Amino acid sequence: MSPCAHGAYEFFEVYFNDCVYNARDAVGFAAGVLSIGAWLVAQMPQIVSNCRNRSADALSAWFLAEWLLGDTCNLIGLLLVGDQLPTMTYTAMYFICMDTVLIMQYIYYGTLQRRRERARSLCARPRPHHAPPHHRLHAPAPHTHALPPYRPLPSEASCDMEGLAVGRARGGGDPAALGDLPPDLLSGKGERQSGGAGRLAIKRARGGGSPPTLGGPPTQGAPAGGGGGGEALLRWPFLVGAHPEWARVAGMAVGWVSSAFYVGSRVSQIVKNAQRRSAEGLALSMFAAAICANCLYGAGILLRSYSAAELLGSAPWLLGSLGTVALDMVIFVQGTHYARKKCLALQQLPGSGFAADPARSPAQA
């Protein structure tokens, strides 16, 4: 039995198990697909930026944590509400994997930074210098070798170079260099750095998860399988058939929690940017992609909803997507504002060519 009423486009029904009846539905479907495509590449710029800078301190720890929790709740909500396509489930899993990569980068580079600080602090400690004896108590016995001449301890400059070499070896240099380090440096024991790593602030740039269908509300009565090329669209066993009411209610509740995590993650990142008075290290292209993806996603839901009841059913995901667009724009504006202030400050430095000309204002520069 077909899950769609008479008049649905066969292409979408056969290959995507979705019911598209008119051009409005088709545009909403396309918006949902484009949203997924934008999310697949949204976090790549930040991952690459962390690798290049060998640091993830620009990200708030709470931002990352809440983003991961939001995506996890999104996946749970999809499974509870039911009628989800496998592509939706796989996309939600992909989001969680990307969140995990960012968190692992944050932990890894934060640990490296603490080890570098530990090495520098050890090298900065004053070391006792023992003066050589002024006279010998007795002459060396014949046929014996005198002790080697006194060799002073390394200077502070050479110690700083050792600390730099330790940091490079820890940061991805030759692994063989680690074998020559002292045990106290290899242990990595030391106080936490009071900068970015000590203050957990991690945000997520993704707003709203994926509802049960591509860009629209759940399709009622969808069968357990049906696809093109002889491949069935498998569904989760405990959600096949008539979905219990408690599962749908629980899925909606988890969806609201997911949206709260998404919104809270942005707030955490905004606060950290304001405290640092900088957004250096943030890949603003990630937030630009998030804005595009969330706008497309919200538009897809609105285009596929024809009644107030359908809009209410998609409210958690609408809040998670469109509700975070404004906050993503705040982060984007923060980044451009702080970058412009830094550029103007550099222009006013002596020798920059701008300070010597008083008639030329920063605005004209």
**What pLDDT is recorded for position 296?**
93
Q: Tell me the residue range of the domain where 239 lies.
A: 30-111+193-219+226-337
b/e sequence 194-225, b meaning 16+ C-beta within 10 Å: eebbebebbbbbbbbbbbbbbbbbbbeebeee
Cα distance between residue 274 and residue 292, in whole Å: 24
Is residue 275 in some structural domain?
Answer: yes
**What pLDDT is recorded for position 317?**
80
Number of domain units in the chain: 1
- The SS3 of residue 213 is strand
**Positions of the chain with pLDDT under 70:** 1-2, 83-87, 125-243, 351-365
**What pLDDT is recorded for position 189?**
45
Is residue 89 in some structural domain?
Answer: yes
Cα distance between residue 211 and residue 84, in whole Å: 7
Is residue 137 in some structural domain?
Answer: no
Cα distance between residue 249 and residue 242, in whole Å: 14
**What pLDDT is recorded for position 245?**
83
Here the tokens at position 241 are 């058939």
Sequence-ordered alpha helix ranges (H) in 128-205: 156-170, 183-187
Contacts of 331 (CB under 8 A, 6+ apart): 205, 266, 269, 270, 273, 279, 282, 284, 287
**What pLDDT is recorded for position 242?**
56
pTM exceeds 0.75, yes or no: no
Is residue 215 in some structural domain?
Answer: yes
Residue 216 phi, psi (nearest 5): -150, 180
**What pLDDT is recorded for position 116?**
77
Q: Which residue reads 């905004």 in tokens?
A: 270
Q: Does residue 80 contact residue 243 with C-beta atoms inside 8 Å?
A: no
Is residue 252 in some structural domain?
Answer: yes
